[in-house]
Amino acid sequence: MRASTRIRRKAVVLAAVASLGTGLLAGCADDGKDGESPSGEGGGGKTKITLGLFGTAGFEESGLYKEYEKLNPDVDIQQTVVERNENYYPALLNHLTTNSGLQDIQMVEVGNIAEIVQTQSDKLLDLSKYGKKSDYLEWKWQQATTPEGQTIGVGTDIGPMAICYRKDLFEKAGLPTDREEVGKLWEGSWEKFVDVGKQYQKKAGESTTFLDSPGGLLQAILSGEKERFYDSSGEVIYKTNPAVKDAFDLTAEAAEAGLIGNQTQFQPAWDTTIANSKFAAMSCPPWMLGYIKGKSKPDAAGKWDIAQAPQSGNWGGSFLTVPKSGKNAEEAAKLAAWLTAPEQQAKLFGVQGSFPSTPAAYESAEVTSAKNDMTGDAPIGTIFAQAAENIPVQTIGPKDQIIQQGLTDNGVVLVTQGKSPKEAWDNAVKTIDNALDQ
């Protein structure tokens, strides 16, 4: 699932910690409504298992809760959902730190998993006794595993990178529209990708841009790097890592050339650019298809297609963790393992578009036959499965989200607003370093 990875406005986040404290408590400090007791028992003496989630995980919408309750009649599943991770995560971290107010299962976004592993693993159950390591992509399993071998989270989805593009806009600009031919235009190189953008912009003029946002391009490039912001020893290296500066400079080059809209992703103005067909391509992990569908006008259906990205990478994905303090930790661990098993991940992709972190699911009919209204007959499951095979094992640090946001919202976006690449980089570094020092 795509997690809202942005921690944009400090005041909003701090307010969210206070206001959401009761939200995360809701599943465990229950007042006994609807026949439920605060002791963790549901109506009729059933075992109540609560989940704290963000975004649209899709477990309820896909019918998985009902299926599990049918298999386990003594279990009653309830969830509390916060729309955005930037509101959800600070409250979760606060409750983990105090070891109170936690629900039986808590979701953690991939950008936060390193911090949870490093600072909160003693509060969480070792799930290696419940989930099968061999079911999951090795790198996904490892992301939630401590140096001592304790696995504190089982993986839900991943975000293999592709490129979604508008066939009609590509055609008008004289570019090929067949997904195989399109992928060959930029195969193996993000520099080639930017060059294709320059070709597009020459023909398209100023009515549309090649790409939606600087943040989307920067994220896509960096998602394929083994080391980005931290090295394997845990040192912050974003300022000295050539891969980060090269990605920043290439994104700035595209911005200076007018190839990128001056929007911040997942904001209302960005939503409008989707609805009004103001750009021709965007970085596109599986969950992005849901955004495209949700924000597009009906006549856009079938006008999109999807091609392989220049290089494989991962953007997004989450984990289910089980706090030890829960009254039903054992039953919660069983549910977490069941929800993330290959069979259930395949079903979830068929309904929700969350791409499985379990390779066995890639051969399922739900994945191989998957289609999306926006991309017509494109075999999206096969395309994303191919991308997933080549995702590098990436070093994740505890403050990855802060660094990524600083490079984007306080960095490359400024180039689209008239700042020089150097000014944008210096501002990003200042913002990030101030945040890391706090």
DSSP 206: T
- 3-state class of 227 per DSSP? coil
Query: Which position has the higher pLDDT, 73 or 6?
Result: 73
**pLDDT band at 382, cuts 50/70/90?**
very high
* Mean pLDDT on 397-404: 92
pLDDT at 196 over 90: yes
Evaluated on CA atoms 100, 104, 109, 111, the torsion sign reads: positive
Which residue, among 299, 7, 306, 51, has the nearest Cα to 160 in the 3D structure?
306
Tokens standing for 354? 């969350």
DSSP 412: G
Cα gap 252→279, rounded to integer Å: 17
pLDDT of residue 34: 37
pLDDT at 21 over 60: no
* Mean pLDDT on 118-129: 96
pTM for the full predicted model: 0.84
**pLDDT band at 13, cuts 50/70/90?**
very low
- Average confidence score pLDDT of the chain: 89
pLDDT of residue 429: 98
Query: Which position has the higher pLDDT, 16 or 41?
Result: 41
Terminal-to-terminal C-alpha distance of the chain: 29
Which residue, among 131, 77, 122, 69, has the nearest Cα to 338 in the 3D structure?
131
pLDDT at 44 over 90: no
pLDDT at 311 over 70: yes
pLDDT of residue 43: 58
Evaluated on CA atoms 285, 289, 295, 296, the torsion sign reads: positive
pLDDT of residue 340: 98
What angle is formed at CA 4 by the lines to CA 186 and CA 94, rounded to 5 degrees? 140
Tokens standing for 331? 């039953």
Residues 44, 328 contacting (CB under 8 angstroms): no
- 3-state class of 399 per DSSP? coil
The C-alpha torsion from 370 through 134 and 113 to 216, rounded to 10°, is -30
pLDDT at 28 over 90: no
Cα gap 177→275, rounded to integer Å: 21
pLDDT of residue 40: 59
pLDDT of residue 350: 84
Per residue in 162-193, pLDDT (tens digit) is 999 999 999 999 999 999 999 999 999 999 99
- Cβ of 422: how many Cβ atoms within 10 Å? 11
Concatenating the DSSP letter of every residue in 62-126 gives: TTHHHHHHHHSTTEEEEEEEES-HHHHHHHHHHHHHHT-S--SEEEEEHHHHHHHHHHHGGGB--
Per residue in 331-371, pLDDT (tens digit) is 999 999 999 999 999 999 988 889 999 999 999 999 999 99
- 3-state class of 26 per DSSP? coil
* Mean pLDDT on 377-403: 92
Close Cβ partners of 43 (under 8 Å, ≥ 6 residues apart): 34, 35, 36, 76
pLDDT at 129 over 90: yes
pLDDT at 258 over 70: yes
Helix (H) or strand (E) holding 308: strand 304-308
In percent, the amount of the chain with pLDDT more than 70 equals 90
pLDDT of residue 45: 81
Residues 13, 86 contacting (CB under 8 angstroms): yes
pLDDT of residue 56: 84
What angle is formed at CA 89 by the lines to CA 117 and CA 275, rounded to 5 degrees? 125
Query: Which position has the higher pLDDT, 89 or 86?
Result: 89
* Mean pLDDT on 122-139: 95
Per residue in 227-242, pLDDT (tens digit) is 999 998 999 999 999 9
DSSP 83: S
Cα gap 88→70, rounded to integer Å: 30
DSSP 207: S
* Mean pLDDT on 17-36: 33
Which residue, among 22, 401, 11, 3, has the nearest Cα to 230 in the 3D structure?
401
**Listed range (18-27, 120-129, 231-240, 349-358) with the worst mean pLDDT:** 18-27
Residue count of the chain, please give it.
438
Query: Which position has the higher pLDDT, 56 or 340?
Result: 340
The β-bridge partners of 376 are 372
* Gyration radius of the chain over CA positions: 22
* Mean pLDDT on 404-415: 96
DSSP 299: G
- The per-type count for the chain, helices as H runs and strands as E runs, is 18, 10
Q: What are phi and psi of 315, to 5 degrees?
A: -135, 100
pLDDT at 161 over 50: yes
DSSP 199: H
Per residue in 200-217, pLDDT (tens digit) is 999 999 999 999 999 999
**pLDDT band at 37, cuts 50/70/90?**
very low
pLDDT of residue 5: 38
Q: In what order do the strands lie in the sheet with 162-166?
A: 209-211, 279-283, 162-166, 304-308
